Structure 1
Amino acid sequence: MEQKRSKLVTWIQESITAKMFTVGMLILILLIPLAFVQDLIKERKHRQEEVVSEINNKWGNEIIISGPILKVPYKEIKEVKSLNSETNLYDIKKEEYTHYAYFFPETLNIDSKVKTKPLNRSIYKSVVFTSDITVEGKFPIINFELEALQPENILWNKATVIIQTSNLKGIRNTVETELGNEKFSMAPIYNNSALNTIESSSIDNFSMMNQKAINFKFELKINGSEAVKFIPIGKTTKASIASNWASPSFDGMFLPEDGSREISKDGFKASWKVLQINRQFEQTFYNSLPDLTPFAFGANLIIPVNEYAKSERASKYGFLVIGLTFLVFLLIQLVSKVYIHPFQYVMIGLALVMYYTLLISISEHSSFLKAYVIATLAVLALVSLYSKSILKSNKFAALIGISLFALYGFIYVIIQLEDYALLVGSIGLFVILAAIMYFSKKIDWENK
Structure 2
Amino acid sequence: MEWIFLAVVALLGLGLALLGGFVFLRWLARLYAAPRRPAHPAADAARPEVGQPAPETENRPTMETTVPAAIPSRREACPDQETRALLRTPLARFSIVAFIAVVLLLPLMLVKDLTDERASLYRSVVRDISKAWGGEQQITGPILLIPYSERQITSRTVRNEDPKAVGGEEYRVIKESRLVPGYFVLLPARADFTCNLDPQERQRGIYRSLVYTARLRMAGHFRLPPLESLKRIAPDLESVDFQRAFAVVGLSWPSALRTVGPFVWNQAELAAEPGTQPFTAVKEGFRIPVPLSPDVKQYDFSQELVFNGSSGISFTPVGGVTAVGLSSPWPHPSFRGDILPVTREVSATGFTAVWDIPSLARSYPNLGTLKTWPDRFTSFAAGVALYESASHYHLIERSVKYGILFIGLTFLAFIIFELSLNARLHPVQYGLVGLAMVVFYLVLLSLSEHFTFLPSYAAASACTVLMIALYAGAALRSVRQGFSVGLLLTALYSLLYAILQMEDYALLMGTALVLVMLGVLMVVSRNLAFERI
Using the size of structure 2 for normalisation, the TM-score is 0.79
Mapping of residues 329-408 of structure 1, within 5 Å: 329-408=414-493
Find the counterpart in structure 1 of residue 324 from structure 2: 239
- Greater RCO, 1 or 2 (C-alpha within 8 Å, sep 6+): 1
How big is each residue's C-alpha offset from its partner over 1:322-354, in whole Å with a ceiling of 9 and x where there is no partner?
Answer: 111111112222332212111111111111110
SS for the counterpart of 1:207 is: coil
Q: Distance in 1 between matches of 2:482 and 2:385?
A: 49
Q: Is the 8 A contact 1:114 1:243 kept in 2?
A: yes
Q: Distance in 1 between matches of 2:122 and 2:218?
A: 36
Q: Is the 8 A contact 1:16 1:334 kept in 2?
A: no
Find the counterpart in structure 2 of residue 7 from structure 1: 82
SS for the counterpart of 2:425 is: coil
Which moves more between the two structures, 38-47 or 86-95?
86-95
Q: Does residue 106 of structure 2 align to residue 20 of structure 1? A: no
Which moves more between the two structures, 90-99 or 306-315?
90-99
Q: Is the 8 A contact 2:265 2:302 kept in 1?
A: yes
The unaligned stretches of length 5 or more in structure 2 are 1-75, 162-170
Q: Does residue 495 of structure 2 align to residue 410 of structure 1? A: yes
Find the counterpart in structure 2 of residue 52 from structure 1: 126
Q: Distance in 2 between matches of 1:376 and 1:141?
A: 68
Q: Distance in 1 between matches of 2:265 and 2:314?
A: 24
Deviation at 1:285, TM superposition (A): 2.0
Q: Distance in 1 between matches of 2:521 and 2:489?
A: 15
Find the counterpart in structure 1 of residue 254 from structure 2: 168
Letter in 2 for 1:30: L
- Aligned-residue Cα RMSD (Å) equals 2.1
Letter in 1 for 2:190: T
Q: Does residue 243 of structure 2 align to residue 146 of structure 1? A: no
How big is each residue's C-alpha offset from its partner over 1:342-371, in whole Å with a ceiling of 9 and x where there is no partner?
Answer: 111111111111010000001111111111
**Partner of residue 187 from structure 1, selected from 267, 273, 279:** 273
Q: Is the 8 A contact 2:134 2:256 kept in 1?
A: yes
Q: Is the 8 A contact 2:148 2:237 kept in 1?
A: no
**Partner of residue 504 from structure 2, selected from 403, 419, 432:** 419
Letter in 1 for 2:79: K
Whichever of the two has the greater Rg, that structure is 2
**Partner of residue 81 from structure 1, selected from 155, 178, 195:** 155
**Partner of residue 274 from structure 1, selected from 318, 335, 357:** 357
Change in 2 beyond 3 A, CA 1:372/1:153: same
Mapping of residues 436-447 of structure 1, within 5 Å: 436-441=521-526, 446-447=531-532
Change in 2 beyond 3 A, CA 1:167/1:214: same
Change in 2 beyond 3 A, CA 1:292/1:150: closer
Q: Does residue 151 of structure 2 align to residue 63 of structure 1? A: no
Deviation at 1:41, TM superposition (A): 0.8
Letter in 1 for 2:453: F
Q: Does residue 327 of structure 2 align to residue 252 of structure 1? A: no
Find the counterpart in structure 2 of residue 155 from structure 1: 241
The unaligned stretches of length 5 or more in structure 1 are none
Deviation at 1:175, TM superposition (A): 4.7
Mapping of residues 72-221 of structure 1, within 5 Å: 72-83=146-157, 87=161, 89-143=172-226, 144-147=230-233, 149=235, 152-189=238-275, 190=277, 192-193=280-281, 195-201=283-289, 203-204=290-291, 206-208=292-294, 211-221=296-306
Q: Distance in 2 between matches of 1:432 and 1:32?
A: 22
SS for the counterpart of 1:153 is: strand
Q: Is the 8 A contact 2:233 2:368 kept in 1?
A: no
